[in-house]
Structure 1
Amino acid sequence: MTARPTRTLVSATGPAGNIGDALIRRGAVRWAAGTSDELVVYVGEAPDTWLHQLGLPSGTRVLRSKRSVARWLWLIATAPRHPVLVFESGEIPLDRGNVLRELVFLAETLLVRLKGGVVVRPPRGIRAATQSAAAIHSVAARLSQFALWRDAASAVLAGGARVVPDIGFAAGIRPGTPWADRRDLIVSLRGTRPMPDGNWHEAVHAFAASEGLRIRTVVQVREDETRARELADALGGTFEPWGDADPLAREARLRERYDDARLVISDRMHVLVLAALSGAAPLELVPSPTHKITAAFATIGLTELTADAATLSPAEMQERMRRQIDRADEVTDRVAAAAADLTALEDEIRTAIRKARA
């Protein structure tokens, strides 16, 4: 008797205007590709450009719009034996409004496990946890063969134990421009947070001048474009807009910019991840930074990556930037180890899927 085709289902929603989100969703799709005869990817309300950003293999069955959720659930329920279910990587909100969603995800997990399948929750971080949503999420995570956390605090909240590098570190290490020839100090800050004060501007401008670096502001999340322009004006730097560029072309251009940078200052986690992959020194130097970046980079052994600009003088901020540049070799070594860990993890997942079907 001919075996029924196998099926892998991947959730990969996200905004096309956020290159970091595309990066980590693409990583999860790459883990799933080739694990079954049929690949099904749910993208929600995402535009056509998002499909290109995900790098979906030819023949992928794409489910779009919230109207296709019922179809998604039906494909899980009717999947042949040993299906694979891959949830989204990234930040997971567990506030009260997500209790129903977590119940649905728990039901999906149970269905796949009852069919002898494999459930993969790629590296994730928890945000805004409430007791009810976190409790449901914790049960679903324990029922998954792979429940991975990109920071220790999230693992504790979910009752998990496996802390691994953020999947963004698997996006490819680049040699970049030789260190002696790098001439850029790049800044990319969230547009939704307050503009740093005069002391911060003074410190960044003075440090760039002392190191012979050009200041360049870039946009990795489209909503930050106005802030990037404001920063360039305030710092006397060069502003590089997103404009009408295709997101994939924009991502490629950004990575080239990070290749030329010695220091990248940002409060966007995946700006700093891509910067580190290009060999630049990453630094979160902003007023009242969150714990997110600190926690994720601590997982790969990089500590003291964050500094609270509100508590430092201009001279202290300059010293902090100088110390970070001196750590470039350490950054390169830690990023290489993280990439190797993620490659081994992908191999482990694929092996578990093969064994489940043996």
Structure 2
Amino acid sequence: MTSSRPRATRTFVSLTGPAGNIGDALIRRGTLEWAQGTSDELIAYVGEAPDVWLKQLGVPDGTRVLRGKKSVAKWLWLLATSRHRPVLVLEAGEVPLHKGNGLREIVFLAETIIVRLKRGVVVRPPRGIRGATQPSLWFHSLAARASQIALWRDAASARLAGATTVVPDIGFADVRGGQPWGERHELLVSLRGARPMPNAAWIDAVKTSAQEQGLAIRTVVQVREDEERSRELADALGGTFEPWEADAVTQEATLCERYDGAKLVISDRMHVLVLAALGGAVPVELVPEPTAKITEAFAAVGLQGISADATTADMPAFLAAQIERADEVRERMTAAAAQLVEIEAAMRETIRKARA
């Protein structure tokens, strides 16, 4: 006799990242949400991440968690021995393709080929390419073309991969209500610690903008390594410094509360501005010679002109103009979240059809 009982299905999801970076947690959580419920068994590779990382992401009980480089062989074995059309969900975010990344991209290509040979589904959530070099870019582009779903969070990355599908970064998925605009009384600042301290003209422009709008200045920490820079900025701006004093889960909740009560958030970190905009604050990148990363990611959701070069811009005028864009920001965030819901639904339908 033969059993009519269906064979168990597996979804493999990559969720690496440091617990000290709230932005990385945001997009990895989005990746996990896409993977959940697509198979009977969920297998997550988390690299060297600590237990608090699993809590940050909300990894559900029953997930088979693989840690460390030694577990990569186990990951590949489980993938190769999956019997019934496995699903592979690679993590959203930035993909470094510098020299030396070629071997890693060959492994990802091999994973993609294994899944496709098993008539499974490969999902690449919205990603951005950084530091593209050959042959890493060639291997990466080949794997993306071999995937049923390969999405890009900015047009430049799509062009590099020979693709055209540009969608919102997965971090834009969850719009928060935030406080009514008239009840917001803060201007928040969070800058990278690795960059030089802003000059006197920048400090004066931010202080002037806060005074004219009747806003208190607060510096916050979304990436642990930026904490000392936030302390220095608070001293220079005459603002309140809020250190990272809790676990990562509590820190994220505190940050969202701050963003929900702010009118303007200035940062050179993309996901600081994403989290801020989701809570209704107006996001602003104001640094010397800003990179295109933030500009392109927000352009993908239809929000243009949030970045300015501090070496050439009329900073007070720029900040005054940005604070008038609250309604536009809310509209764009709502539309981006709705688009991501549609994309996720289409992904799940692709998996369903593959297993029908």
**Band the TM-score falls in, shorter-chain normalisation:** over 0.9
How far apart are the structure 2 equivalents of 1:164 and 1:139? 20
Q: Which runs of 5+ in 2 are unaligned?
A: none
**1:160 Cα deviation after fit:** 1.2
- The residue aligned with 2:145 is 142
**1:3 Cα deviation after fit:** 2.0
How far apart are the structure 2 equivalents of 1:201 and 1:80? 60
Query: Is the aligned partner of 1:304 residue 2:305?
Result: yes
Partner amino acid, structure 1, of 2:249: L
- The residue aligned with 2:74 is 71
- The residue aligned with 1:350 is 348
Q: Map 1:165-176; keep pairs closer than 5 Å.
A: 165-170=168-173, 172-176=174-178
CA-to-partner distance for each residue in 1:34-59, whole Å, 9 max, x for gaps?
A: 11000000001111111111111121
**SS of corresponding position for 1:10:** strand
**SS of corresponding position for 1:126:** strand
Q: Map 1:278-297; keep pairs closer than 5 Å.
A: 278-297=279-298
How far apart are the structure 2 equivalents of 1:306 and 1:284? 4
Q: Map 1:205-354; keep pairs closer than 5 Å.
A: 205-243=207-245, 245-312=246-313, 316-354=314-352
How far apart are the structure 2 equivalents of 1:142 and 1:68? 27
Q: Which residue among 97, 102, 116 is the counterpart of 2:100?
A: 97
Partner amino acid, structure 2, of 1:187: V
Partner amino acid, structure 1, of 2:195: R
- The residue aligned with 1:123 is 126
CA-to-partner distance for each residue in 1:173-214, whole Å, 9 max, x for gaps?
A: 112111111100000000001111000000001110111100
**1:279 Cα deviation after fit:** 0.6
Partner amino acid, structure 1, of 2:341: T
How far apart are the structure 2 equivalents of 1:104 and 1:145? 18
Q: Which residue among 7, 10, 13 is the counterpart of 1:10?
A: 13
Sequence identity, in percent? 67
**SS of corresponding position for 1:279:** coil
**1:138 Cα deviation after fit:** 0.7
How far apart are the structure 2 equivalents of 1:66 and 1:242? 29
Partner amino acid, structure 2, of 1:189: L
Quote the RMSD (CA, aligned, Å).
Answer: 0.7
**SS of corresponding position for 1:131:** coil
**1:8 Cα deviation after fit:** 0.1
**SS of corresponding position for 1:219:** coil
- The residue aligned with 1:113 is 116
Q: Paired residues, what number? A: 353
Partner amino acid, structure 1, of 2:263: R
**1:251 Cα deviation after fit:** 0.4
- The residue aligned with 2:196 is 194
TM (norm. structure 1) is 0.98
TM (norm. structure 2) is 0.98
CA-to-partner distance for each residue in 1:54-103, whole Å, 9 max, x for gaps?
A: 11112100001111011001011011221000011100001121000000
How far apart are the structure 2 equivalents of 1:131 and 1:295? 23
How far apart are the structure 2 equivalents of 1:303 and 1:78? 47
**SS of corresponding position for 1:311:** coil
**SS of corresponding position for 2:187:** strand
